[in-house]
């Protein structure tokens, strides 16, 4: 979410602030979170909701956004909002935030395009497209970051040009991008196997690239800001609240706030260096790369100064009279509380096993 602050306590002068709202969801509960740019600090909402509060888990993401906007309403003036392609959210922003620019996160769109490309490559007669998979995804990123944010038509025209490029056609694309930007291909780039025109691969790729809904969404991709920081924060929450355990409403809220404190303190860690002063890197093989690798920076060790602050706060609270201590949070009703509970004896009587018993 790009924001223009009404107060000066959050951002430095001349900064370009951005907040990305993204919700950590599960079938039971949700706590809405966001991060701020360039400070990269995390804001954890003080209200966690259950799915029965908003009519089911599907509606939780939209409800999280509504509460997030209401939370920031008196603090920040929202200028730009970056989310994934949730249609319900897009409609709500369009109708209720007409003066806010809504953009999509490029990684989510690239992931969707990658899945569709992978499915096409598995079709008989489309195997030759596999060599172009990563190049097409890279082209999507390039089409967005090499254009100005307000020129959606140019972004889309650049994206569509890839359909002709893989056919070894580099001129006459039409629109605002009639010619490929690369120089005369040489070496390995020239030897790459081109897709044959009118082949099944070419037809399938054209259908994918020129899809109206996809092109409309590509024109709204954010060239500067992404939601990756929020995704990273959600991964951090799992360390404090593993999904294999069930926590109470208050317990989950406290663990998420702890994750927020840890994230805020360590979000801007520098890259670790060797004794010679060179930056350190590591190679990882994530599942989504299907055998491919990614290079990541090795960051300096995390710090935990917030723990000392919390311990001091606990000691201070213990010294206060009971009447001056914070009141326990009121928890919303559980999911099972809305269910009609049968009589135990009657339930046992009606119980029947699908297996034969001796």
Segment 163-184, tens digit of pLDDT: 999 999 999 998 999 999 988 8
Mean pLDDT value across the chain: 81
Name the residue with higher pLDDT: 206 or 292. Answer: 206
Whole-prediction pTM value? 0.76
Q: What's the mean pLDDT in 340-352?
A: 84
SS in 3 state form for 253-302?
Answer: HHHHHHHHHHHHHHCCCCECECCCCCECEEEECCHHHCCCCEEEECECCC
114 and 198 inside one domain: yes
Model confidence at 204: pLDDT above 90: yes
DSSP secondary structure letter of residue 276: T
Name the residue with higher pLDDT: 346 or 44. Answer: 346
Q: Would residue 226 count as lying in a domain?
A: no
Of 83-87, 139-143, 309-313, which gets the smallest average pLDDT?
83-87
Q: At what angle do helices 87-96 and 60-72 cross, to 10 degrees?
A: 30
For residues 168 and 194, is the Cβ–Cβ distance under 8 A? yes
171 and 252 inside one domain: no
146 and 207 inside one domain: yes
Of 9-13, 117-121, 318-322, which gets the smallest average pLDDT?
9-13
Q: What is the pLDDT of residue 135?
A: 92
Q: What's the mean pLDDT in 337-344?
A: 82
Q: Would residue 252 count as lying in a domain?
A: yes
pLDDT in tens, 77-111: 888 888 888 888 999 999 999 888 999 999 999 99
Model confidence at 39: pLDDT above 70: no
Q: Would residue 237 count as lying in a domain?
A: no
- Local confidence band at 30 (pLDDT 50, 70, 90 cut-offs): very low
Model confidence at 264: pLDDT above 80: yes
Q: Would residue 299 count as lying in a domain?
A: no
69 and 167 inside one domain: no
Q: Would residue 86 count as lying in a domain?
A: yes
12 and 87 inside one domain: yes
Q: Would residue 302 count as lying in a domain?
A: no
Of 311, 338, 306, 334, give the one whose Cα is nearest residue 247: 334
116 and 96 inside one domain: no
Of 21-30, 286-295, 309-318, which gets the smallest average pLDDT?
21-30
46 and 65 inside one domain: yes
Number of domains in the chain: 2
Name the residue with higher pLDDT: 325 or 215. Answer: 215
Of 56, 32, 54, 52, give the one whose Cα is nearest residue 44: 32
- What is the torsion angle, in degrees rounded to the nearest 10, for the CA atoms of residue 203, residue 207, residue 210 and residue 213? 180
pLDDT in tens, 58-80: 677 888 888 888 888 788 788 88
- Local confidence band at 51 (pLDDT 50, 70, 90 cut-offs): low
Residue % of the chain over a pLDDT of 90:
42
Of 58, 65, 66, give the one whose Cα is nearest residue 20: 65
The three-state secondary structure class of 5 is strand
Name the residue with higher pLDDT: 322 or 217. Answer: 217
Q: Would residue 135 count as lying in a domain?
A: yes
205 and 175 inside one domain: yes
- Local confidence band at 346 (pLDDT 50, 70, 90 cut-offs): confident
115 and 206 inside one domain: yes
Q: What is the pLDDT of residue 293?
A: 87
Q: Would residue 166 count as lying in a domain?
A: yes
119 and 214 inside one domain: yes
Q: What CATH number has the domain bearing residue 17? A: 3.30.420
129 and 72 inside one domain: no
6 and 70 inside one domain: yes
The three-state secondary structure class of 78 is strand
Q: What is the pLDDT of residue 352?
A: 74
Q: Which domain holds residue 70?
A: 2-104+247-269
DSSP secondary structure letter of residue 81: E
């Amino acid at each position: 979410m790009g924001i223009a602050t009404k107060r000066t306590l959050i951002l430095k002068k001349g900064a370009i602030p951005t907040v990305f709202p993204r919700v950590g969801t599960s079938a039971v509960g949700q706590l809405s979170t966001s991060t701020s740019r360039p400070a990269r600090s995390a804001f954890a909402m003080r209200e966690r909701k259950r799915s029965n509060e908003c009519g089911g888990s599907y509606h939780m993401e939209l409800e999280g956004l509504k509460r997030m906007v209401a939370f920031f309403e008196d603090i920040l003036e929202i200028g730009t909002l970056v989310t994934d392609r949730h249609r319900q959210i897009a409609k709500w922003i369009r109708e209720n935030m007409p003066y806010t620019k809504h953009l999509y996160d490029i990684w989510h769109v690239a992931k969707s395009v990658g899945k569709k490309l992978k499915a096409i490559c598995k079709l008989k007669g489309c195997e030759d497209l596999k060599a172009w998979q990563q190049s097409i995804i890279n082209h999507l990123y390039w089409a967005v970051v090499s254009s100005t944010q307000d020129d959606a038509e140019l972004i889309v025209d650049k994206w569509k040009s890839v359909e002709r490029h893989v056919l070894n056609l580099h001129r006459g694309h039409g629109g605002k991008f009639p010619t490929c930007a690369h120089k005369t291909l040489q070496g390995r780039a020239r030897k790459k196997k081109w897709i044959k025109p009118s082949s099944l691969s070419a037809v399938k790729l054209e259908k994918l690239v020129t899809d109206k809904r996809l092109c409309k969404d590509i024109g709204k991709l954010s060239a500067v800001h992404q939601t990756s920081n929020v995704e990273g924060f959600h991964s951090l929450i799992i360390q404090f609240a593993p999904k294999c355990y069930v926590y109470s409403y208050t317990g989950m809220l406290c663990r998420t706030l702890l994750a927020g404190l840890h994230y805020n303190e360590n979000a801007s860690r520098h890259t670790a260096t060797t004794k010679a002063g060179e930056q350190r890197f590591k190679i990882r093989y994530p599942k989504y790369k299907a055998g491919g690798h990614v290079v990541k920076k090795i960051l300096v060790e995390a710090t935990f100064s917030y723990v000392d602050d919390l311990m001091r706060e606990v000691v201070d609270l213990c010294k206060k009279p009971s009447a001056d201590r914070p009141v326990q949070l009121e928890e919303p009703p559980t999911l099972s509380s809305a269910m009609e509970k049968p009589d135990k004896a009657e339930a046992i009587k009606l119980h029947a096993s699908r297996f034969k018993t001796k």
